[in-house]
Amino acid sequence: MTTAIPISMQNEDEDADIHALSSHIAPITPITPLTPLIKPAYRATVRDMPVEERPRERLEKYGSETLKTHELLAIILRVGTAGENVLDLAEKLLQKYHGLSGLMSANFHELCNEHGLGVAKSAQLKAALELGKRLMIEQPDKKYQVRSADDAAWLFKPDMAHLDHEEMHILILDTKNQVVEKIKSYKGTVNSSVLRVAEVFRPAIIRNCPTIIVSHNHPSGDPTPSPEDIEVTRQLLEASKVLDIELLDHLVIGNPRYISLKERMHW
């Protein structure tokens, strides 16, 4: 005959068993993160900087020529973002686009998508760069004078260094090697089979100017002259003698370098 055990006694026995078992189990240690949380670095805004270090105040006191490029760019952009002050933003943009020439060539909508820019700031930036480019060429009383290949490359590179296709541009110069006009003459592969040499000199003939500088770009970024580049340059030199218009140089624009074919071919 089976003897029934009261429910209260069953519960007491179960509690005793659980207590005995728990005494042999180590307490649970709270899990800690393997990597501590990294607190975001604090970036002081321009307003937090000492007055004598702020770009706008330094420009007012010492002149714009004393500021670095990223400081001038920061003045145009005015403000940064929640995690990045405007000086950091300006420096980041210059590094990503390889300087002002890269920003000049960058697509407007590409700039709009940059964190911290948007439509308004991108428009301000593009407008400021365009004004600077026009000022170089359009001042009638103070024309830009080309004294070296570097001077010419400085005019060509903003429009050509970042193109994804080949173009030929021409500088028309007066008797003092001052820029009369900058012309985009040709779009496509520059080679002797499609390039009409006479078309290259036509703008100088129309404007009665004695000198031109020709430039074309390599979309690969490598400015090493190709055999076609050499052949075209030889044809241009022959035509320059017939037309009595000096070919001062032929530049191959890469990114970031360029090559002077006058220096390479020694004419």
Angstrom distance (rounded) from CA 192 to CA 212: 19
In a domain, 21, yes or no: no
Q: Residues 77, 168: one domain?
A: no
Of all residues in the chain, the percent with pLDDT exceeding 90 is 46
Is 15 part of a structural domain of the chain?
Answer: no
Confidence category of residue 4, pLDDT binned at 50, 70, 90: low
Establish if 11 belongs to a structural domain: no
Confidence grade of residue 213 (pLDDT, cut at 50, 70, 90): very high
Task: Provide the pLDDT for residue 253.
Answer: 95
**Per-residue pLDDT for 80 more than 90?**
no
179 and 130 belong to one structural domain: no
pLDDT on residue 63: 86
* Number of compact structural domains in the chain: 2
**Do 101 and 174 belong to one domain?**
no
End residue of a domain, out of 138, 172, 195 = 138
258 close to 225: Cβ distance less than 8 angstroms: no
Q: With respect to residue 7, please indicate whether it lies within any of the assigned structural domains.
A: no
Go through 195-215 and write b for each residue having 16 or more CB atoms within 10 A of its CB, e for each that does not.
bebeebbebbeeeebebbbbb
Residue 171 sits in the same domain as residue 244: yes
Tens-digit pLDDT profile for residues 121-135: 999 999 999 888 777
Q: With CA atoms as reference, report the closest residue to 152 among 231, 229, 242, 262.
A: 262
Q: What is residue 210's three-state secondary structure?
A: coil
Q: In terms of residue numbers, what domain contains 182?
A: 149-265
User: What are 61-77's pLDDT values in tens digits?
Assistant: 888 888 888 999 999 99
pLDDT at 40 (0 to 100): 45
Position 95 in a domain: yes
Evaluate if pTM is beyond 0.85.
no
